[in-house]
With several copies, the nearest count.
Chain A
Amino acid sequence: MTTTFDVNMLRADFPILDRKIGNAKKLIYLDSTATAQKPTAVIEAMNEFYRRSNANIHRGVHTLAEESTAMYEKAREQVASLINADSPREVIFTRNTTESINLVAYTWGRENMASGDVVILTEMEHHSNLVPWQMLAEELDLVLEFVPVTDDYLFDMKAYRKLLLLEPKLVAFTQMSNVLGTITPAKEIISLAHEAGALTLIDGAQSVPHLPVDVQDLDADFLVFSAHKMLGPSGIGALYGKMDLLNAMPPFLGGGDMIKTVHLRSFVPNQVPYKFEAGTPAIAEAVGFGAAAEYLQNIGMEAVEAHEHDIAEYALERLEEIPGITVFGPSAENKGGVASFVMDGLHPHDIAQILDGEGIAVRAGHHCAQPLHEVCGVKATTRASFYIYNTKEEVDALIEGIYKVKEIFG
């Protein structure tokens, strides 16, 4: 796989890449797994919205309200199209991946699970796909089981098949680990879950921004993701759910827009997706989210994946040259554009701080995956992550920077 677009031309779409850090070093942004940078198309879509069309939606008949409503619903179509949902109605706008998971836990979960029921997660999960189930388990007395990672940092299919014998109600798993970069075999995981009578929730926070994800091909029941990690704005995310499931779920938050009729002591909920969008939604953010989905679709998710694979493969090669480094995760073919590593005797904060002095933004910490770090036997790692705008030259700068860290602390 090689890059099919011109990275340098594409970089011109991202104004922040001209940013100077500290003493006039150029920004090298290797932290897209935490949040992605935004192309002008996304920033300007929101800008335009506020300067031209801003109004509250769904209930106004004046020109601005009609425009805003149309833009908000068009965004739903753009996002639905990216993941190939059968209908835009299957896309619910939330704040982020985290809220999407909580929505499923609070509604589908509380309605469909009871004492002793089993939920299968994996050891690789982000806190956002652990804590909501821990809270629900505490409330309903559920049993949580965890698919381990194999010695080569893959989803342990054998262990999973065994856990399915427990007849779980739900399998909730990440499609790409934000630490290891591991890409899990989502289609197989889902089809096995369905055979065992379980529903599935894909944490697509890292997969939707970086890979082609087709909910119909995957036969996904729920898929959750965040706009901010896929070139879109903060403050908005999505929950995809199969229409039948969404229709059967009770509402989550109560309030304006999620109702059909209200009396003082009772209400009738609105239809899906509005049933789950209480109150004034993130309207401008939806417009930005739609623009981001379209931007990615114009590049093509295969091309996105290929480019990142290129960069990641090169980064792994170069990192592994460095004495005293350990990179966690599988080999490049099963891995997205993430490289988390530790270095003998060096604290991730110090590495990140010295790199920042070189203009290089990487993340240090447990990346909201403490249990996975426990599995890896470390408290924290330094993580470099890659997106469509990153180049091999930036990887070279990273490697140089790491040598500088060694020098300073040597």
Chain B
Amino acid sequence: MDDLYRQLIIERYKTPHYRGHLDPHDIFFEDDNPVCGDHIEVTVRTNDEDIVTEAAFDGHGCSISQAAADLLIEYIHGKKLDEVKALTKDDVVDLLGIDLGPVRLKCALLSLKVLKAGAYGLGVDEVSDELVE
């Protein structure tokens, strides 16, 4: 619990570093967590070599979903799109630095799901939790 709400998460939730919407952008995607209605959108800009030059997230949700999104967006700056596509649940868990049960894990992984769906160029109907397993 004290673990779970470790300082980093509360801080990033209260004052996120990468909240916003990039326009123009190369990648855009958004989705909801059906359990609680949380919403995340991401916008990403890439250069000729498919490297992430800039990225942002927007939306609303619990501290875990928002902090995870903020940390994830930070993490992908300077990464190749292929690296982004290869991100897994463990990467997000490492960023947050805490253990999560299956329900809270969904909150944590919402931004990764949205990001990978965008990176792969999926349609709205093609998003599934398999993306983040």
Seen from chain A, the residues whose Cβ lies within 8 Å of a Cβ on chain B are 22-23, 58-61, 63, 65-67, 69-70, 73, 87, 89, 259-261, 270-271, 347-350, 353-354, 356-358, 364-366, 370, 373, 379-380, 408-409
Chain A residue with the shortest CB-CB distance to B39:
A379
A91 to chain B, nearest CB (A): 15
Residue of B nearest to A71 (CB): B102
Near A by CB (< 8 A), chain B positions 31-74 give 32, 34-38, 60-65
Output the least CB separation between B58 and chain A (Å): 15
CA–CA, A83 to B35, complex, Å? 30
Q: A348-B36, A364-B36, A380-B37 are in contact. Are A353 and B4 (CB under 8 A)?
A: yes
Q: Is the CB of A409 within 8 A of B10?
A: yes
Quick one: given A349-B62, A366-B36, are A58 and B103 in contact (CB under 8 Å)? yes
Contacts of A370 in B (CB 8 A): 37
The reply to whether B104 and A349 form a contact with Cβ atoms under 8 Å apart is yes
Q: How many residues of chain B have a CB within 8 Å of chain A?
A: 26
Number of A-B contacts defined by CB within 8 Å: 85
A-B contact pairs, 21 of them (CB 8 A): A65-B101, A67-B101, A69-B101, A69-B103, A70-B101, A87-B130, A271-B128, A347-B61, A348-B62, A349-B36, A349-B65, A350-B62, A350-B64, A353-B104, A354-B1, A365-B35, A365-B37, A379-B60, A380-B36, A408-B5, A409-B63
Question: A356 CA to B60 CA in the complex, in Å?
Answer: 22
B101 & A260 in contact (Cβ 8 Å cutoff): no
Binding site for A on B (CB under 8 A): 1-2, 4-5, 10, 14, 32, 34-38, 60-65, 101-104, 107, 128-130
A365 CA / B65 CA spacing, docked (Å):
14
CB neighbours (8 Å) of A67 from chain B are 101
**What A residues does B10 contact at CB under 8 A?**
408-409
Whether A354 pairs with B103 at a CB distance below 8 angstroms is: no
How far is B64's CA from A58's CA once the two chains are assembled, in angstroms?
17
Distance of A22 Cα from B1 Cα, bound (Å): 8
Q: Closest approach, in angstroms, between the C-beta of B119 and any C-beta of chain A?
A: 20
Q: What is the bound-complex CA distance between A66 and B102, given in angstroms? A: 6
A27 to B4, CA, bound (A): 19
Q: Whole-angstrom distance between the alpha carbons of A409 and B66 in the complex?
A: 14
**CA of A69 to CA of B34, assembled, Å:** 16
Q: Which residues of B contact A73 (CB under 8 A)?
A: 102
Report chain B residues within 8 Å CB of A365: 35-37
Give Cα distance in the complex from A380 to B38, angstroms. Answer: 9
Smallest Cβ-Cβ distance to B127: which chain A residue: A271
